[in-house]
Structures are given as structure tokens and as C-alpha cells.
């Protein structure tokens, strides 16, 4: 293992995505490794927000139908721009709502308990908001939480594919799982899980929040029924950015569980009828009027992904995380760190997950020294070198800083507990 700084510089020289770093605003004197929580602002995203503001200024209400980006069709256009990232057809994706609102919509639409099939299958490692939503939907349908099955983890960090399949019993009506686990970064085998669910007559959907913009997907090819995700992590859509959802075209024509103004067929919407004619695409699963200013950044950031290509993004992401793990093993052996993410490329998402008993303190020390990590209770450190704007030299610098923190025990200056926002 070459641990020299010159090798990191060499890797940066060979990087065919290095020019994309100039597209982003990088905080001064900071190594930003928290892009799996909130991506950085790009100059194009900034420009696209200004463009929507200018259309409001110039056209007023006519901005819904006039200008370069008519607002009435923006959600569908952004869905079309996103479709290659998830392996879908353009009409199967729409940018709308928030992550949890979209999950509520999709469960309300696809969870149809009947006879013995009344249960929802999830897992115990999922992000809490998904579980909150699933419990709410069960309650709305008259069921208690005993109807929520959560697959157990054998090690506290990962899930076993066969354990999930074994939980697909004949009383399960719906499955909702993460594509990538938010702590450990494990990629679930979505293709196999979808096949096994459908073999048993079960609808299945995935939360792509920690995989979108980081790994390729093939949702339509795999036959996934639905998916949903936020756009502010690897996709750099900005804080509070409008989210997205995918619905396989085999379900088109069905009414959404939660109907709303923008669920309508666009040709019928302003007929003002009290009987909904749903859109014959993923747009049917919209509820309210698009949030234009929170959607606008995606015009710029999705353009960057179209230019870079998700295949090249994934290839560099794997090189970055492999390099980070190799340096950690070479430089930090004996300091109490455990690499708790999968080391196999096929099973690892876009971040490295370290466990350490002093994790909260170490994260505070890193931040003081100019590295922005992400702490996860109780003992986790997530480090996400993002392909579009992080460098191999930053990976090298981060490990050097981390080693200094451990050798000099700089973490002892801080309390070993999280802040209000971890």
C-alpha cells in the first residue's frame, strides 16, 4: 500500500472527473466528507434557481406555461432527467413532495391488506422516518404494530439476503426496504429481493435515499414496483430539496392512494371536475402544486450527472472509498477503529463507516481540524468522499489528520455525545 502524498496526487491527475470539482462551492479550508447527508451547492444549481426566479419576475402567472422551463411540466421534466440514475423510463419518475410524504403516498397506494395478507415487511436497520410512516399507515388501515415485521440484523450493521427472503411469509402484503443502509453503507440485492417477492405475490419498493447519485440502479429491468428518494444528498439538490418517486409502468392507470390536485391528467386538470382523471404516468402520484424554488436546483445538478454519467461516478466512488479504507488500515491500526461497512465493491455504497468507542469526540475533533464527517449514534463515523467534488489528496489528508488526533488524543477535549444535529 502506497501511503505517500505523491501517490494521492498521482491518482488525482488520472481522475477523468476532476474538472467537476470546479462546478461546486467548496467551503474554505475544509475537507467536506458529509455529502451523503447534504451535498454541496453547485454553480449550475445556483444558476437554475436564479432562472426560475427570473421567470417569476418576467412572466408572473404565465410562468406556468411560458419561458424556457414552464413550471406546469417541471416535475415531469426533472423526472425524465433523473431516469437514467435509477434505470427507468422517463414517464416512470417524477420529482415531487418529500421523502416521507412520498412513502406515505406509495404505501397508501400499494398496501392493500386482504385476508391473511395484512403485514408489511421492513428491517430493523432502516432510517427511523420510514418506520414511522409504515406504522402510521398500519394504524390508518386499522392494524397495530404487530403487523410490521422487521428483519433482524445478525451483526447490527448489515442484513442477510436469505434472512429477508425467509421473512417473506404468506401473510406479507407489502415490502419496503432501503437500497443502501444509511449507517453501514451495505447495498441490498434489490434484483434478487424483487424476484423473490414477486414469486410470492408480494409488492416491493425501495428507499433510495443513500444510493441515488452514488450507485447505478436498474429498477425497471428488475421489475421493482416503486421507489422513493430525497435529492439533497449525493444529488446535491439543496437543503429541503423536493424529493422523487418511481412507479413501474405496469401500475399506470391505477388511482393513487392519496389523490390531489397534481395527480390529474394534465389535459384534464383545469376542467375542474370533482372526479379525478389520474395521469397515466408517475405524475399520478403527485399530490400538491410543485415547489418550484426547491425543485429548481435539480435542473443544474442533474445536468452535471448527465454529463458525468452514473457509471463513471460509481467507478470513482469505489476508488475513493477503497483508497480510504486502505489508508485507514495502514495508518490507524491499533487505534481502536473498526471498518464496519462491506469491503466488497458490489456490496458497498458511497461511504465508509467506522466504529469507535470515542466516535462522537473524534467527529468533533475532525471538524475542529477542518474535516466534516458525520456522526451516527452510538459509535459510528461516516466518511463520504463524493466523486464529483472530493479528491484523493483530501482522502490522504483526512487520514493524516485522523492519525494526529488519535496520537495526540485531541478528542479528549470534547464530550463523547452527539450535538442536537449529529
Query: pLDDT, tens digit, for every residue of 126-135?
Result: 999 999 999 9
Query: pLDDT, tens digit, for every residue of 40-68?
Result: 999 999 999 999 999 999 999 999 999 99
Q: Which helix (H) or strand (E) holds 402?
A: helix 392-407
Task: Kindly tell me if the per-residue pLDDT of 143 is higher than 90.
Answer: yes
User: DSSP characters for 22-71?
Assistant: GGB-PPTT-EE-BTTTSPPPBHHHHHHHHHHHHHHHHHGGGGGTSSSS-G
Cα 248–Cα 249–Cα 254 angle in degrees, nearest 5 = 100
Query: pLDDT, tens digit, for every residue of 291-312?
Result: 999 999 999 999 999 999 999 9
Residue range 210-229: mean pLDDT, rounded = 98
Query: pLDDT, tens digit, for every residue of 230-277?
Result: 999 999 999 999 999 999 999 999 999 999 999 999 999 999 999 999
Query: pLDDT, tens digit, for every residue of 78-127?
Result: 999 999 999 999 999 999 999 999 999 999 999 999 999 999 999 999 99
**Domains of the chain with bracketed CATH:** 5-32+309-413 (3.90.1150.10), 47-307 (3.40.640.10)
Q: Which helix (H) or strand (E) holds 75?
A: helix 74-86
Please enumerate, by residue number, every residue annotated as part of a binding site.
99-100, 127-130, 207, 210, 232, 261, 289
- Whole-prediction pTM: 0.97
Cβ neighbours of residue 330 closer than 8 Å, sequence gap 6 or more:
1, 3
- What does the pLDDT read at residue 67? 95
CB 287 within 8 A of CB 96: yes
Residue 329 pLDDT class (50, 70, 90 cuts): very high
Q: How many CB atoms lie within 10 A of CB 250?
A: 11
Please enumerate, by residue number, every residue annotated as part of a binding site for pyridoxal 5'-phosphate.
99-100, 127-130, 207, 210, 232, 261, 289
Average confidence score pLDDT of the chain: 97
Peptide linkage before 260 cis (omega within 30 of 0): no
Residue 372 pLDDT class (50, 70, 90 cuts): very high
- What does the pLDDT read at residue 420? 66
Q: Pick the closest to residue 92 from 220, 209, 264 (CA basis).
A: 220
Q: Is 253 left (phi over 0), alpha (psi -120 to 50) or beta?
A: left
Measured distance CA(42)–CA(306) in Å, rounded: 14
Number of residues in the chain = 422
- What does the pLDDT read at residue 19? 98
Cβ neighbours of residue 302 closer than 8 Å, sequence gap 6 or more:
78, 81, 82, 235
Measured distance CA(252)–CA(376) in Å, rounded: 39
Measured distance CA(381)–CA(362) in Å, rounded: 8
Residue range 141-164: mean pLDDT, rounded = 97
- What does the pLDDT read at residue 416? 80
Query: pLDDT, tens digit, for every residue of 384-415?
Result: 999 999 999 999 999 999 999 999 999 999 98
Measured distance CA(262)–CA(266) in Å, rounded: 8
Amino acid at each position: 500500500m502506497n501511503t505517500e502524498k505523491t501517490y494521492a496526487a498521482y491518482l488525482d491527475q488520472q481522475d477523468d472527473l476532476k474538472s467537476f470539482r470546479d462546478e461546486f462551492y467548496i467551503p474554505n479550508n475544509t475537507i467536506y466528507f458529509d455529502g451523503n447527508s447534504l451535498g454541496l451547492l453547485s454553480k449550475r444549481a445556483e444558476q437554475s434557481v436564479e432562472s426560475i426566479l427570473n421567470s417569476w419576475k418576467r412572466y408572473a402567472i404565465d410562468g406556468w406555461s411560458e419561458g424556457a422551463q414552464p413550471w406546469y411540466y417541471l416535475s415531469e421534466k426533472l423526472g425524465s432527467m433523473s431516469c437514467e440514475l435509477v434505470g427507468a423510463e422517463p414517464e416512470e419518475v417524477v420529482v415531487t413532495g418529500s421523502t416521507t410524504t412520498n412513502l406515505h403516498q406509495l404505501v397508501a397506494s400499494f398496501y392493500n391488506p386482504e385476508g391473511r395478507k395484512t403485514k408489511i415487511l421492513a428491517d430493523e436497520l432502516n432510517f427511523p422516518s420510514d418506520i414511522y410512516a409504515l406504522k402510521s399507515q398500519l394504524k390508518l388501515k386499522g392494524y397495530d404494530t404487530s403487523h410490521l415485521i422487521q428483519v433482524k440484523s445478525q451483526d447490527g450493521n448489515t442484513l442477510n439476503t436469505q434472512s429477508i427472503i425467509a421473512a417473506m411469509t404468506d401473510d406479507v402484503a407489502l415490502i419496503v426496504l432501503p437500497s443502501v443502509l444509511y449507517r453501514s453503507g451495505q447495498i441490498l440485492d434489490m434484483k434478487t429481493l424483487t424476484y423473490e417477492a414477486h414469486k410470492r405475490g408480494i409488492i416491493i419498493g425501495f428507499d433510495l435515499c443513500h444510493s441515488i447519485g452514488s450507485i447505478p440502479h436498474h429498477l425497471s429491468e428488475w421489475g421493482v414496483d416503486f421507489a422513493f428518494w430525497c435529492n439533497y444528498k449525493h444529488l446535491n439538490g439543496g437543503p429541503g430539496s423536493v424529493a422523487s418517486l418511481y412507479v413501474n409502468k405496469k401500475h399506470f392507470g391505477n388511482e393513487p392512494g392519496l389523490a390531489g390536485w397534481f395527480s390529474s391528467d394534465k389535459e384534464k386538470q383545469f376542467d375542474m371536475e370533482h372526479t379525478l382523471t389520474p395521469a397515466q404516468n408517475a405524475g399520478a402520484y403527485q399530490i400538491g402544486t410543485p415547489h418550484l424554488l426547491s425543485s429548481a436546483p435539480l435542473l443544474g445538478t442533474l445536468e452535471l450527472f448527465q454529463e458525468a454519467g452514473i457509471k463513471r461516478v460509481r467507478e470513482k466512488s469505489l476508488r475513493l472509498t477503497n483508497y480510504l479504507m486502505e489508508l485507514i488500515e495502514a495508518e490507524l491500526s491499533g487505534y481502536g477503529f473498526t471498518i464496519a461497512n462491506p469491503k466488497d465493491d458490489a456490496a458497498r455504497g458511497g461511504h465508509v463507516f467506522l466504529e469507535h468507542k470515542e466516535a462522537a469526540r473524534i467527529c468533533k475533533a475532525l471538524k475542529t481540524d477542518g474535516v466534516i464527517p458525520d456522526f451516527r449514534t452510538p459509535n459510528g463515523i461516516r466518511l463520504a468522499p463524493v466523486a464529483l467534488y472530493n479528491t484523493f489528496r483530501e482522502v490522504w489528508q483526512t487520514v493524516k489528520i485522523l492519525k494526529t488526533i488519535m496520537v495526540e488524543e485531541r478528542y479528549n477535549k470534547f464530550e463523547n455525545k452527539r450535538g442536537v444535529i449529529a
